[in-house]
Amino acid sequence: MKRIVVTGMGAVTPVGIGVDEYWKNITSGVSGIDTIKTFDPSELAVQIAGEVKNFNPSDYLSKDLIRKTDPFMQYAYIAAEEAIKQSKLEVEPQRTGIVMGTAMSGIATIAFTQDALSGASHKKVGPRFIPKILGNIAAANIAIDYNIQGPSLTVSTACSSGGDAISTACMCIEAGKADVMLAVGAESVLCPLVIYSLANAKALSRRNDSPSTASRPFDISRDGFVIGEGGGALILETEEHALARGAKIYGEIKGCGNTGDAYHMTAPHPEGRGAIACMQQAIADAGIKPEEIGYINAHGTATNKGDFVETSAIKKVFKEKLPFVSSTKGATGHMMGAGGVTETITCLKAIETGVIPPTINLSEVDPDCAGIDFVANTAKKADIKYAMSNAFGFGGQNSSIIVGKY
């Protein structure tokens, strides 16, 4: 097995653009959730989200790139640019690849374009509409600008897409298809169409009067998740390649798990069989013991079933030696395809800094989730050698990524 290391990270999130800003705010308990500003939400039952704040695309992208990209692509590009710059990578075109993870690609552009078209002329549909909504074009834009000619893949496994992008990138390296892989996750689904559907499914929090406290993972008063948006990116490469070019190594990808519940279209298996198998698979892949993992960044979306099932699964895998567990979705909302990558970055930073980020808005732990230290509201100091990031999605998709100190 090849050792795969992390040499670059990038993040665009509701609590900050750039890994340093993201980490500062996520550990300080800052909430990135507020009333939606992208469009007027006043007629919607749900009017809150974790939007990327103070985002002006022209600060980061050329006018041409802005015109031909959906916001999720812009977040992906900016996160990838930060990761590449941090890694000081000189791309070897045919030995460098990219994997993109996104749950719903350009759905907001689809919705707003259809709305403009209804009752209007065909001229409301621009010639760039199709490439703006395709998931793979996010990777293509990055590949074109950085001359990445190796494997180019896009995975769409609902909310585990970001985690699966990482594991797919690792598989490409292990198979010898590339020496360096860029793993990216991004999402921007904010539009009435998506909100109506998720609200009608009773999946979303309706705390419109208190946005910053709406996302409440593991809390007894939780009433659903809050939509988030953003992007994350990691530069992954073989240890041999990283050392040969003198790269700074921020951590190691130790193990990856990927399973399916084979149970229900949207609900998790009530006994958490897919989540349990996924975490166990990642631990076996890492070649470590469960008790060596000091921290789990939980999927923890603040849905009633989801939080309970994940908590139950963690207890079954780790038994009496439970790690610290927190959900940063209390601060960012549910970033879907982006979350699997940004939350893996969270695990890497927790190991690097010895700080466990808190689960904010956790006033009273649901008795059904009790027995775990969820790092309520305030970050904790801890010496962590290994950490796990969980990302679970519709269709029973499960992803677990284990990172370790290098």
Write out pLDDT tens, residues 183-199: 999 999 999 999 999 99
User: What pLDDT is stored for residue 120 in this prediction?
Assistant: 67
Task: Identify the residue whose tokens are 């027995």.
Answer: 371
Asked if 254 and 286 count as a contact pair (C-beta separation under 8 A), the reply is: yes
What per-residue confidence (pLDDT) applies to 117?
83
User: Among the CATH numbers 1.25.40.10, 3.40.47.10, 3.30.2290.10, 3.40.640.10, which is that of 257-398?
Assistant: 3.40.47.10
| Mean of all residue pLDDT scores within the chain | 96
CA–CA separation, 269 and 191 (whole Å): 29
Active-site amino acid positions: 159, 299, 334
Q: How high is the pLDDT of residue 123?
A: 65
Q: Which residues contact 377 (CB under 8 A, 6 or more apart)?
A: 29, 358, 359, 360, 361, 362
Q: Can you give the pLDDT at residue 124?
A: 72
pLDDT at 362: 98
Of the candidate CATH numbers 3.40.50.970, 3.40.47.10, 3.40.190.10, 1.10.10.60, the domain formed by 4-244 belongs to 3.40.47.10
Q: How far apart are CA 249 and CA 252, in angstroms?
A: 8
Could you report the per-residue pLDDT of 49-100, keeping only the tens digit for each?
Answer: 999 999 999 999 999 999 999 999 999 999 999 999 999 999 999 999 999 9
Q: 200 burial class (0-12, 13-18, 19+ CB within 10 angstroms)?
A: exposed
Predicted confidence at residue 121, as pLDDT, reads 60
Q: Which residues 6+ apart lie within 8 Å of 171 measured at CB?
A: none
Helix (H, G, I), strand (E, B) or coil at 171: helix
Helical residues (DSSP H) of 94-244, grouped into ranges? 107-117, 129-133, 135-146, 161-174, 192-200, 239-244
CA distance 99 to 170: 10
CA torsion 353-355-356-361 (nearest 10°) is: -130
The predicted structure's pLDDT at residue 64: 94
Q: Answer yes or no: are the C-beta atoms of 378 and 146 closer than 8 Å.
A: no
Please give the pLDDT value at position 68: 94
**CB-hemisphere CA count at 13 Å for 326?**
30
Which pLDDT does position 329 carry in this prediction? 98
Where, residue-wise, is CATH 3.40.47.10 in the chain?
Answer: 4-244, 257-398
Burial readout 215-242 (b: 16 or more C-beta within 10 A, e: otherwise): bbbbbeebbbbbbbbbbbbbbbbbbebb
Residues of the chain with pLDDT under 50: none
Burial (CB < 10 A; 0-12, 13-18, 19+), residue 284, is exposed
